[in-house]
């Protein structure tokens, strides 16, 4: 039995955002770095698991037929894994949009920072517009996910 490994995936993006705000200052750079580290680790792990779960027979057949490893991956693994990869990627994109709002309140840029500034200035119309934008982004990600899954299945 192996011990579970911890790494960048176990540290929430808000903690990374706080560290990067301290390292690079206030603004969107800290938020982008925090999201990139958190979701890069998550996506890497999930992609590896998706690739491992694909039926290996087409890949083996391509390799035995003289295909290169890249060809075996492109024609043996990707077609089977594509729906899951796209679905999970769009889901994580939606999560990153939501996380960016939260991280903005600690100074890591994004919609959260704009909401915070508008709230401090008592600009209710701006807050409503930003929240509507956030809602449209989340709904857009959901619709994109549905559309892509429908096309690939």
Question: Rounded CA gap, 21 and 89, in Å?
Answer: 26
pLDDT of residue 71: 95
Output the pLDDT for position 75: 94
Is residue 72 classed exposed, middle or buried when 0-12, 13-18 and 19+ CB atoms within 10 A define those classes? Answer: buried
pLDDT tens sequence across 33-60: 999 998 998 899 999 999 999 999 999 9
User: Quick one: tokens of 104?
Assistant: 């903005």
The pLDDT, as a whole number, for residue 5 is 52
CATH 3.90.79.10 at 11-152, yes or no: no
Residues in the chain with pLDDT < 50? 1-4
Q: Is 21 left (phi over 0), alpha (psi -120 to 50) or beta?
A: alpha
Q: Where are the domains of the chain?
A: 11-152
pTM of the model: 0.74
* For the chain, percent of residues with pLDDT exceeding 70: 93
Which of 12-20's residues contact partners 24+ apart within 8 Å by CB, and which partners?
12/38, 13/37, 13/38, 13/39, 13/99, 13/103, 14/99, 14/102, 14/103, 14/106, 17/103, 17/106, 17/108, 18/106, 20/108
Q: Which 3 state secondary structure label does DSSP give 105?
A: coil
């Amino acid at each position: 039995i192996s011990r579970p490994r911890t790494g960048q995936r176990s540290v929430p993006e808000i903690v990374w955002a706080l560290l990067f705000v301290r390292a690079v200052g206030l603004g969107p750079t800290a938020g982008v770095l925090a999201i990139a580290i958190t979701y890069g680790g998550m996506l890497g792990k999930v992609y590896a698991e998706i690739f491992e779960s694909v039926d290996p027979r087409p890949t083996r057949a391509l390799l035995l037929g003289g295909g290169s490893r890249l060809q075996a991956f492109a024609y043996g693994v990707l077609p089977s894994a594509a729906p899951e990869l796209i679905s999970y990627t769009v889901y994580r994109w939606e999560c990153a949009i939501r996380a960016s709002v939260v991280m903005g309140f600690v100074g890591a840029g994004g919609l959260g920072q704009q909401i915070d500034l508008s709230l401090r200035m008592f600009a209710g119309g701006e807050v409503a517009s930003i929240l509507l934008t956030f809602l449209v982004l989340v709904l857009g990600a959901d619709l994109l996910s549905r559309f892509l899954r429908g096309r690939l299945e």
